[in-house]
Homo-oligomer: A and B are copies of this chain.
Amino acid sequence: MTTVRGARARARIEITAAIKDEAGTQLAAEGAAKLSLRAVARELGMVSSALYRYFPSRDDLLTALIVDAYDAVGAAAEQAAAETAGQRPLDRWTAVCRAVRAWAVDHPHEYALIYGSPVPGYTAPEDTIGPASRVGLVLIETARGAHTGEGVALPPLPEGLRPEAARLAADLAPDLPPALAVMLVSAWSQLFGLVSFEVFGHFHNIVEDRDAFFAAAARRLGQDVGLLPRG
């Protein structure tokens, strides 16, 4: 089973974790661009080549950090949803959005790693798609709560979008109306547009009261997916 497999196996996972930890520290401090394998090894008191026993390449180490980042922001979103269970859907929605934004502002380099320019040879490994979808799933779940009985009135879909909307709904959430699925994906990406502009500095000298601005925008996104102000 997964019991204690000798000292060697235990050391391996410990060292692997230590490498990932130190790499995470350097990522948070300096950003992905300045993350150096040699510096990580140096800080851990080993030589750089030894590090390749644990991660085949720098990109693999980065991938591990990417997965961690997706998991962290996903967990933040899930926690916000859990803490607001039972409240009005629109309030839950804005709470989830706020949690995502708060995590991003607190971890700008990790955020940039996952929602900024794709840094490596541009191939998202299979391991990332699960963690990457956690935030989206929370948004879907939050909206689903308001649509269990009868779908709130959403604007009708334009003709050309009907097939895509049907496919999207079938893939994402077969129990939701296609128009809602489309709105959810839109709102999902637009949420990260708001967050990215703030984290990446595009609001510099433009938006001052970021909290109020974001709160209003997140609320509006929630209304876009059919969540009513009072329900």
Contact = CB atoms under 8 A, between A and B. Distances in A.
Contacts of A32: 117
A85 interface: no
A18 interface: no
How many subunits of this chain does the assembly comprise? Answer: 2
What interface size band does chain A fall in? 35 or more
Interface string A186-199: 10111111101100
A48 B209 CA distance: 46
A86 B63 CA distance: 50
Interface in A190-221: 190-194, 196-197, 200-209, 212-213, 215-217, 219-220
Interface in A112-128: 112-113, 115-119, 122, 124
Contacts of A45: none
Nearest to A167: B208
B158 A216 contact: yes
Contacts of A71: none
A161 interface: yes
A190 B218 CA distance: 11
A150 interface: no
A189 B197 contact: yes
Contact of A196 (B113, B192, B208): B192
Contact of A185 (B158, B172, B213): B213
- Which 7 residue pairs spanning A and B have beta carbons closest together? A193-B193, A116-B117, A112-B117, A190-B190, A164-B209, A189-B197, A190-B193
